[in-house]
Amino acid sequence: MAVRDRQHVSLDLVLKSLPYSLQKLLIMVSYISMLIFTAVVIYGGVKFVARGSSQISSALEIPMHYVYIVLPLGGILIFAYLIKNFYEDVFARR
């Protein structure tokens, strides 16, 4: 929700004091670093799902890959919103 609504933590005070071209560069670096982190979460989540296919939850007695599937799915949604916001913030605004 925070990524979709652009409510993630940022330092607007520093950003607003910079020239416009430097603002765009800083926004691009910020989005690229968030995209890399999200890709790592997706990759790790896929590995968890694969590992959890042979595990059974002791309390619920369901396969653990049903629990672990949340990691890559959430990561994919965050990645998609980051791409959308990146385009809007860097290329659509003049």
pLDDT digits (tens, 9 = 90+) for 12-71: 777 788 898 898 898 899 899 999 999 999 999 999 898 888 889 888 888 888 888 999
pLDDT tier at 9 (50, 70, 90 boundaries)? low
3-state secondary structure of 56: strand
Amino acid, res. 9: V
pTM for the whole thing?
A: 0.79
Measured at the CA of 36, the angle between CA 33 and CA 37, to 5 degrees, comes to 85
Structure tokens at 2: 């925070």
pLDDT grade for 79, boundaries at 50, 70 and 90: very high
Per-residue pLDDT, 83: 94
